[in-house]
């Protein structure tokens, strides 16, 4: 509703058309969506990216319906949907994509050219993403359903593992993408900046990919304990020892093979906000010819930034350091479709328990404002909203 305030309100039941509303791009108003379905939301998660908007750190308009991490059951099917059926239980990639444009055909669903008139790429309930209505609600419309939805093969089995499967909409693929982009493989040493849910998912993914040692850095002691709970090393960045010194205490050398920035533009140092500090420190401790995965969010508009440059996404990046060390940096939204089917199979076959790693915590839709407030205070939990009591049941 305004910075620091979220409310639960009644909204219209979805229809197969994109109507005018908060954040809806004028060119998207009236867009026919016969290729979509309406989902009864089974799980919808609160994301750190949502918090950036709630804190007033983006240009998100008042009244925006939040929520881009959605799992749901199909209750209505649009005229042009061919393969998805009523009753299917599905994961919804947070990227909205058409499946028809050049980017989609090349596997870059995070930068679809046809769903957002402002720029490539779109998401549900997110600022500057075309105005698609978010899924922290009882029901939500998903466009291009045959393309976008990942159907779970067995509903009963899926409901038994629904907390793990609810992470497929965003943070499990996003964390995995960060680790993959950083080049994590068997025997790697890895540093993950940030012990929030995406950082924990990246650390878990690095282990899943065979890393020898995964080190997680943060200022939040509770979140560092959560990282330790599934076998990560942890470095407390509030301590006097520098990051290279703390890494050397663990590994014997002050550097790692791969680094993941799971913090983004609201990064903080010991003395306050420092938006480039994670990127610069990650380049400092990544070995020569190493790689950095950057799933942490960076924006082009930040009204609450510490300086004028940062307000438009310009940061004091030590690019010379990265250049001199022949680093590779990969950034941007995760193309969820690239990973979600295989990660689903890992969950369904008991090879991955991501919900435990991120401490998934179920709350009801009326409790969403409390969830936002507690998440903003830095609790080591990933809040999963259960609008219809289906998870509890």
The ranges of the chain with pLDDT < 70 are none
The rounded distance, in Å, linking the Cα atoms of 240 and 28 is: 52
pLDDT in the model for residue 380? 97
Q: Interior CA angle at 28 toward 24 and 33, to 5°?
A: 110
> Rounded to whole angstroms, how far apart are CA atoms 284 and 339?
29
pLDDT at 269: 85
Which domains are seen in the chain, by residue range?
17-170+335-385 (3.90.180.10), 171-331 (3.40.50.720)
Q: 162 vs 99, 261, 323, 354, 355, CA distance in Å?
A: 26, 27, 43, 11, 9
The whole-number pLDDT of residue 8 equals: 97
Q: Which of 11, 257, 46 is nearest to 137 (CA)?
A: 11
CB atoms within 10 A of CB 290: 24
* 322-360 per-position pLDDT tens digit: 999 999 999 999 999 999 999 999 999 999 999 999 999
Per-residue exposure over 135-147, b if at least 16 CB sit within 10 Å of its own CB, e if not = bbbbbbbbbbbeb
Q: What does the pLDDT look like over 30-69, one tens digit per residue?
A: 999 999 999 999 999 999 999 999 999 999 999 999 999 9
SS3 of 294, please? Answer: strand
CA 196 to mean position of chain CA atoms: 11
């Amino acid at each position: 509703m305004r910075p620091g305030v979220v409310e639960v309100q009644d909204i219209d039941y979805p229809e197969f058309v994109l109507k005018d509303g908060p954040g809806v791009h004028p060119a998207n108003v009236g867009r026919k969506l016969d290729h979509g379905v309406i989902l009864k939301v089974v799980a919808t998660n609160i994301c750190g990216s949502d918090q950036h908007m709630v804190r007033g750190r983006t240009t998100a308009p008042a009244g925006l319906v939040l929520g881009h991490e959605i799992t749901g059951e199909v209750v209505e099917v649009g005229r042009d949907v061919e393969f998805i059926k009523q009753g299917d239980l599905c994961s919804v990639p947070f990227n909205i994509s058409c499946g028809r444009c050049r980017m989609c055909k090349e596997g870059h669903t995070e930068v679809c050219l046809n769903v957002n008139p402002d720029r490539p790429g779109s998401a549900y309930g997110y600022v500057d993403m075309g105005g698609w209505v978010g899924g922290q609600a009882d029901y939500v419309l998903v466009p291009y359903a045959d393309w976008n939805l990942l159907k779970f093969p067995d509903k009963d089995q899926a409901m038994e593992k629904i907390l793990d499967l609810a992470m497929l909409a965003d943070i499990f693929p996003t964390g995995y993408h960060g680790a993959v982009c950083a080049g994590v493989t068997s025997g790697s040493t890895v540093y993950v900046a940030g012990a929030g849910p995406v950082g924990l998912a990246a650390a878990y993914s690095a282990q899943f990919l065979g890393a020898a040692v995964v080190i997680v850095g943060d200022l939040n002691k509770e979140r560092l304990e959560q990282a330790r709970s599934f076998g990560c090393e942890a470095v407390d960045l509030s301590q006097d020892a520098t990051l290279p010194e703390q890494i050397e205490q663990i590994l014997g050398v002050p550097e790692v093979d791969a680094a993941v920035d799971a913090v983004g533009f609201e990064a903080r140092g010991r003395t306050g906000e420092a938006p480039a500090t994670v990127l610069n420190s990650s380049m400092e401790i990544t070995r020569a010819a190493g790689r950095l995965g950057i799933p942490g969010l960076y924006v082009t508009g930040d009204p609450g930034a510490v300086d004028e440059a940062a307000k438009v996404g310009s940061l004091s990046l030590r690019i010379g350091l990265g250049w001199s060390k022949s680093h590779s940096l990969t950034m941007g939204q995760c193309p969820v479709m690239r990973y979600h089917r295989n990660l689903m199979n890992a969950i369904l076959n008991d090879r991955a328990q991501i919900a435990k790693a991120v401490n998934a915590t179920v709350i009801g839709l009326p409790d969403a404002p409390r969830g936002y407030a507690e998440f903003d205070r830095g609790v080591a939990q990933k809040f999963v909203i259960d609008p219809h009591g289906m998870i509890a049941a």
